[in-house]
Structure 1
Amino acid sequence: MSHKIIVVGIGPGDSAYLLPKAQKTIENARILVGGKRALADFSHSGARECAIGADIPGVLSFIRDALATDDVVVMVSGDPGYYSLLDALRRSFPIGQIEVIPGISSLQMAFARLALPWHAARLLSFHGREPHEAELLRTEGAVLGMLTDGRNNSQTIAARLMAHGWSSDDTMYVCTRLSYADEQITEMTIGQAADTDGIGHGVIIVCAHEEKY
């Protein structure tokens, strides 16, 4: 039987939010692939490691070679199904060879912190990518959940949203360092965000109504 690639979602950061099955899989892994933070937090003695960096083809090559001898556990932040290495793995290996253990995404954590249902929310990512213009349009009762980076932050995204019909009075929540001791959630209007120094590398949620959650 071919060895498997086990893609494990490690959650938003704090190990308290790591699912028990994910933790056991990581602890038993003999070959671990993950970002530098994931390896620093979860690697253990005896595990052969490969860090995920800019050289994704190199990581895929490492996984392909390692599968000849053992299963490979690939750790990804949040949930594997939302903008992770899983896309590249599906393009490079048979889907039947891939097992996925879900994790808690930072978006899910942000909505939970606000006690805000997210079944009708539009989920987008500004993290190294650009959403489609139509996804940014304001509609009645719209709720957007967005991943951000350093360049696309609360200030630049607020300006983009107002250019797509959002009101300066609509509510924006800026969530950073979710699950960590220094977690911060800031509530402001989109207009205030546009006039304030940008906050990035987190999650932004905007609501197209005047209710405050």
Structure 2
Amino acid sequence: MITIAGIGPGDSQLRVYGVESCLADADVVVGSVRQLDTLKIDQNKRMKLPKLSDLREYVNNHLSLNIILLASGDPLMYGIGTWAINNFGRENVRILPGISSIQYCFHRFGLSENDTFFTSSHGRKPDFDFLLMHQQVGMVTDDEIGPYEIAAEIRRRHQHRMIYVGEDLSYPTEKLSIFDETNVENRKYKLNVVIIKNA
């Protein structure tokens, strides 16, 4: 059995009840160094997240162990939960939900999530013609398609939108910014979520 534990956007106070007891019972906890350090996982339990092909092989060879795989945010919102179900079968996977970074970002800006299209630009090129048909979009971004690139795509289509950017959400370095398509700063953004909203 493998458990995918959603640990929320970062702050321990935003973790869903049950994650701590799940971690206490684990034989092995798999995650990024940042996740493992944040949760203070014992050295004898921790395993740095390997390539997914290696992780698949490890889990398949150790299904008798209580393996916990950490997921930032919510495992089934552009997270590793879907990968786990597809690779190990629903009967071998338990999912502990978490607060997604997108959900948290909406709350920090005081914006309703109703009728929002949720997506991610991680490792993919979004269809901006399709995205901008929506009144509101919540998007997890990456280094390739971030706030500045999104604003450029909006300008290219001669449209107007408000762009809300949340960086390092729930961490002490959290930064919240509000732009429109004309004034998004051309800089490197930390881990971030972008909300695109019709003005």
CA distance in 1, matches of 2:24, 2:125: 36
Counterpart Cα distance in 2 of 1:30 and 1:36: 17
Letter in 2 for 1:5: I
Aligned mates of 1:126, 1:198 — CA distance in 2: 17
Equivalences, count: 198
CA–CA separation in structure 1 for the residues paired with 2:24 and 2:159: 47
Structure 1: distance between partners of 2:164 and 2:43 = 42
SS of the residue corresponding to residue 113 of structure 1 reads: helix
Aligned to 1:28: 25
1:197 to 182, 186, 196: 186
2:117 maps to 1:117: no
Instruction: Report the 3-state secondary structure (helix = DSSP H, G, I; strand = E; otherwise coil) of the residue aligned with 1:37.
Output: helix
Match of 2:80 among 81, 85, 88: 85
Query: Which residue identity is paired with 2:187?
Result: G
Q: How does 1:164-179 map to 2 (within 5 A)?
A: 164=157, 166-167=159-160, 170-179=161-170
User: Is it true that 1:15 corresponds to 2:12 in the alignment?
Assistant: yes
Matches within 5 A, 1:65-104: 65-68=61-64, 70-104=65-99
Q: Quote the offset at 1:44 in angstroms.
A: 3.0
Q: Is the CA contact 2:25–2:66 (under 8 Å) kept in the aligned structure 1?
A: no
Instruction: For 1:99-178, list aligned pairs within 5 A.
Output: 99-139=94-134, 142-164=135-157, 166-167=159-160, 170-178=161-169
Counterpart of 1:185 in structure 2 is: 176
Question: What is the CA-CA distance between 1:135 and the residue it aligns to?
Answer: 3.0
Provide the C-alpha distance between the structure 2 equivalents of 1:145 and 1:184, rounded to a whole number of angstroms: 17
Relative to 1, partners in 2 of residues 1:27 and 1:166: Cα closer, same or farther, differing over 3 Å?
farther
Which residue does 1:62 correspond to in 2?
A: 58
Q: What is the Cα deviation at residue 161 of structure 1? A: 2.4
2:119 and 2:177 map into 1 onto residues whose CA distance is 19
3-state SS of 2:113 partner: coil
CA distance in 1, matches of 2:55, 2:138: 30
CA deviations over 1:28-61 (Å, ceiling 9, x no partner):
21211111211112243375332224x1100111
Q: Structure 1 unaligned runs (5+)?
A: none
- CA-atom RMSD, angstroms? 1.8
Mapped to 1, the partners of 2:116 and 2:90 lie a distance apart of 29
Residues 117-139 of structure 1: per-residue CA shift (max 9 Å, x gap)? 11211111112222234432245
Give structure 2 stretches of 5+ with no counterpart: none
Does the 8 A contact of 1:8 with 1:76 survive in 2? Answer: yes
Give the deviation of 1:113 after TM superposition: 0.6
Q: Does 1:208 align with 2:198?
A: yes
Percent identity over the alignment is 26
C-alpha contact 1:166 1:208 (8 A) present in aligned 2:
no
Q: What TM-score do the two structures reach when normalised by structure 1? A: 0.85
Task: Indicate if the aligned counterparts of 1:122 and 1:135 stay in contact, CA closer than 8 A.
Answer: no
- What is the CA-CA distance between 1:171 and the residue it aligns to? 1.2
Paired residue type of 2:186? D
When normalised by structure 2's length, the TM-score is 0.91
Residues 73/188 of structure 1: CA separation in 2 closer, same or farther (3 Å cut):
same
